[in-house]
A = this chain, B = another copy of it.
Amino acid sequence: MEPRVSLITLGVADVHVSRAFYEQLGWEGRETEETVFFQAGGAVIVLWGRAKLAADAQVPDVERPGFRGVALAHNVRSEQEVDEIVEAAEQAGATVTRRAGPTFYGGYSAYFTDPDGHVWEVAYNPGFALDADGSITLPDFE
């Protein structure tokens, strides 16, 4: 198994509400069969009905509030970009769970949740270089 994620599927209550949220942030979705796809570098982010996703995976779907144990990070190139994105997300209806500020690793970040409670971090991390295409390359931790 190569270390690779092809699709990140977020189970949502209403694909149109969620699509509108992410499009307000500047993404452009493509929809087929009540499923919305966003090309995200070499991967794809998918919005799909939560119940359909659970049924497809054959895992019991019991909706519960609170943290789901997963966070997605969107890394950017400056502190200012963090502030701008968090402001845009808030205007799109996101809940900011942690206001932007310095991080323990010497960076600057904030967290917000999308309409379904999916957790996003927006981060400037000077130790994790971003390529021109947005790819991230791990540093040598030695």
A residues contacting B by CB (< 8 A) are 1-12, 22, 25-28, 30-32, 37-45, 50, 53-54, 56-62, 64-75, 85, 88-89, 97-98, 111, 113, 116-119, 121-123, 128, 130-131, 133-138, 141
Contacts and interface: CB of A to CB of B under 8 A. Distances in A.
A27 B3 contact: yes
Contact of A38 (B3, B8, B26, B60): B3
A74 B3 CA distance: 9
Contacts of A66: 59-62, 64
B111 A58 contact: yes
So how many copies of this chain end up in the complex? 2
Contacts of A45: 3, 5
Contact of A70 (B8, B30, B31): B8
Contacts of A22: 3
B97 A7 contact: no
Contacts of A133: 42
A5 B7 CA distance: 11
A30 B142 CA distance: 9
